[in-house]
Amino acid sequence: MSLGPKERRERLKSVLGQNPFLSDGSLARHFGVSVQTIRLDRMALGIPDQRTRTKEVAERAYGRVKSLGQREIVGELVDVELGKSAISTMVTSPEMAFERSGIVRSHYIFAQAESLAIGVIDAKNVVTGIANLKFKRSARVGETLVAKAHVVRVKGNKSVVLVETRANGEEVFRGKFLVFALEQ
For residue 181, the SS3 value is: strand
* Mean pLDDT computed over 156-178: 96
Q: How many residues does the chain have?
A: 184
pTM of the complete model beyond 0.75: no
| pLDDT on residue 94 | 96
Domain 5-47: assigned CATH number = 1.10.10.10
Give dist(CA 146, CA 113) in Å, integer.
10
Taking the C-alpha atoms of residue 173 and residue 161, their distance in angstroms, rounded to an integer, is 14
Residues 52, 43 contacting (CB under 8 angstroms): no
Nearest to 113 by CA among 140, 62, 150, 143: 150
Q: What is the mean pLDDT of the chain?
A: 88
Give kind and range of the element (H or E) at residue 11.
Answer: helix 5-18
Angle of CA points 106, 111, 116, to nearest 5°:
135
- Asked if 5-47 and 63-182 have one fold, the answer is no
Provide the residue ranges of all domains of the chain, joining segments of one domain with +: 5-47, 63-182
User: By three-state DSSP, how is residue 164 classified?
Assistant: strand
Give me the CATH code for the 63-182 domain, please.
3.10.129.10
Given a cut of 90, whether residue 96 has pLDDT beyond it is yes
Q: Which residues pair with 81 in a beta bridge?
A: 85
> H or E segment at 132?
strand 125-135
Residue 59, Cβ density class (10 Å: 0-12 exposed, 13-18 middle, ≥19 buried): exposed
Span 25-81, pLDDT tens digits: 888 888 999 989 988 888 888 888 877 776 666 566 555 666 666 677 788 888 888
Rg over alpha carbons for the chain, rounded to the nearest Å, is 19
Q: What is the pLDDT of residue 59?
A: 60
